[in-house]
Amino acid sequence: MARISKPGLDYFPLDVNFLQDRKVRRISCRHHAAGIAALTSLLCLIYKEKGYYVLWNKDTLFDIAQEACCEEEEMQAIIDDCLSVGLFDTYIYKEYGVLTSQAIQEQYHKIIIDSRRKYKLPLENFWMIKEEKEANDNEEETKERKGENGEQTNESAANPSKFAASSGKSAATMPQTKQETDTDIKSKQEMERENEIKSETQKDKETEKEGKMRKESEEPPVPPNGVSQASPVAVRGLSLEDSSGGDFEAILRLNMEAIGIRNEQTAKAIFALARRKELGGINGTLWKILSPGYRPTLLKKNEPGDYILWALNHPAEFESTYNGMLQKMVRGRS
């Protein structure tokens, strides 16, 4: 019995500089061990199941979050960050709900070719290697016109017009070969699989849309960088609002420039979160981060701006870190 073909792989190579990749380091900086574990689990699932992509839905979210030992909310945040830094293709994710990339597809294509596996380029709309597909089609067409030794058969060379006429007649009247039949079956299976993916993606989009509509009245709008933003709260002397009489923005901007934050998008996100009284008000999380006692710790971070955004979005976790630092300082003085 012939071996059943499968789209997935039994192994995939991992570059020795994987952890030194700047995109991967950004994920590691923001999500620490959970980010690396999630990314590794995703790559294994992609190459194992479909070979070059994975459908991102609630089940996949649960499975990867469990493998990475993190909550589903954090897992989704990791995926959003992977998309923002370019580890996965953003357009394909938004259009089809699929996680893939040019690099993943090129790696998959190379492994298939090197292993000499019987292989036909996928028909999915999110297959990104266009030039190679055209090259393969041209190569197959050339092989059909040539014999086993790379030369035309004697009959076609002797009478090319007769050969062309008979070829058209044979294609119309002769029964299909086993290879052609298998090709048709595979094409139908691929079309069914693509329709199934589209159906599941549409259901997920509808469910997500219903959830957003229910929460629209409860949750504030989300800015482009993906961080939560509450409605402005006027804090006397510490608000962006002119009516509150504060110089908050100028003071905060000076502090951010002092620690090397010059990205305008990051600065705007910090300003937006600081409008919340518990974050930007007196004794709020923001001023604890920028305090002289904590500043040396902040300056050790690769991306201080990203760390501030993380702390403002996870004030309870930062508070635990901050209190631990204060306790160390007290023990050092005693």
Residue the block writes with tokens 């059943």: 4
Helix (H, G, I), strand (E, B) or coil at 221: coil
User: pLDDT band at residue 235, thresholds of 50, 70 and 90?
Assistant: very low
Going through the chain in order, the beta strands assigned E by DSSP cover 54-55, 98-99
Residues recorded for the chain: 334
Who has greater pLDDT, 301 or 249?
301
> Which DSSP letter does residue 55 get?
E
**pLDDT value, residue 186:** 60
| Burial of 24 from C-beta contacts in 10 A (0-12 / 13-18 / 19+) | buried
Whether the pLDDT of residue 16 is over 70: the answer is yes
pLDDT at 52 over 90: no
Does any domain span residue 229? no
Please enumerate in sequence order all residues whose Cβ is within 8 A of that of 244, keeping only pairs 6 or more positions apart, or say none.
234, 235, 236, 237, 238
To the nearest whole percent, how much of the chain has pLDDT over 70? 67
Torsion of Cα atoms, 116 then 120 then 122 then 128, to 10°: 60
pLDDT tens-digit readout, 279-295 = 887 778 888 888 888 88
Average pLDDT, the chain: 74
Nearest CA among 230, 206, 259, 189 for reference residue 5: 189
Q: What is the pLDDT of residue 255?
A: 81
Instruction: Return the higher-pLDDT residue of 154 and 31.
Output: 31
pLDDT digits (tens, 9 = 90+) for 125-152: 778 877 554 555 555 555 555 554 444 4
Q: Give the model's pLDDT for residue 65.
A: 92
b/e 181-209 (16+ beta carbons within 10 angstroms → b) = eeeeeeeeeeeeebeebeeebeeeeeeee
Give the range with max mean pLDDT: 110-124, 152-166, 291-305.
291-305
**Amino acid (1-letter code) at residue 142:** T
Q: Average pLDDT, stretch 223-249?
A: 45
Looking at the domain assignment, is residue 191 inside a domain? no
Residue 204 lies in a domain: no
What is the domain range of residue 326?
242-333
pLDDT for position 123: 54
Query: Does residue 150 lie within any of the structural domains?
Result: no
Domain boundary among 129, 151, 182: 129
Buried b (16+ CB within 10 A) or exposed e, 223-259: eeeebebeebbebeebbbeeeeebebeeebeebbeeb
pLDDT tens, position by position, 154-203:
444 445 444 444 444 444 444 444 455 556 666 777 777 777 777 777 87
Domain boundary among 90, 111, 129: 129
For residue 22 the two structure tokens come to: 């700047």
Which of 64, 98, 129 delimits the end of a domain?
129
How far, in Å, CA of 17 to CA of 11, rounded?
A: 18
Among 176-190, 205-219, 267-281, 316-330, the minimum mean pLDDT is found in 176-190
In whole angstroms, give the CA distance from residue 218 to residue 104. 39
- The token pair at 128 is 């990104």
How many whole angstroms separate alpha carbon 327 and alpha carbon 334?
11
| In-domain check, residue 162 | no
Is 227 a residue whose pLDDT tops 50?
no
- Cα gap 207→219, rounded to integer Å: 17
Structural domains counted in the chain: 2
Identify the pLDDT of residue 51.
85
Give yes or no for a contact between 294 and 288, defined as CB atoms under 8 angstroms apart: yes
What would the pLDDT profile of 78-112 be if each residue is shown by its tens digit? 999 999 999 999 999 998 899 999 899 888 888 88
Maximum mean pLDDT: which of 158-167, 248-257, 313-322: 313-322
Q: Does residue 281 fall inside a structural domain? A: yes
Task: Retrieve residue 90's tokens.
Answer: 């953003």
The SS3 call for residue 178 is: helix
Predicted pLDDT at 154:
47
Which residue would you say has higher pLDDT here, 237 or 94?
94
Question: Which residues are 98's β-sheet partners?
Answer: 55
Q: Is the pLDDT of residue 238 over 60?
A: no
Banded model confidence at residue 23, pLDDT cuts 50, 70, 90: very high
CB 8, CB 54: distance < 8 Å = no
Does any domain span residue 285?
yes
pLDDT band for 272, please (50, 70, 90 cuts). confident
Q: What is the pLDDT of residue 42?
A: 93
Instruction: Establish if 251 belongs to a structural domain.
Output: yes
Gap between the Cα atoms of 132 and 117, Å rounded: 16
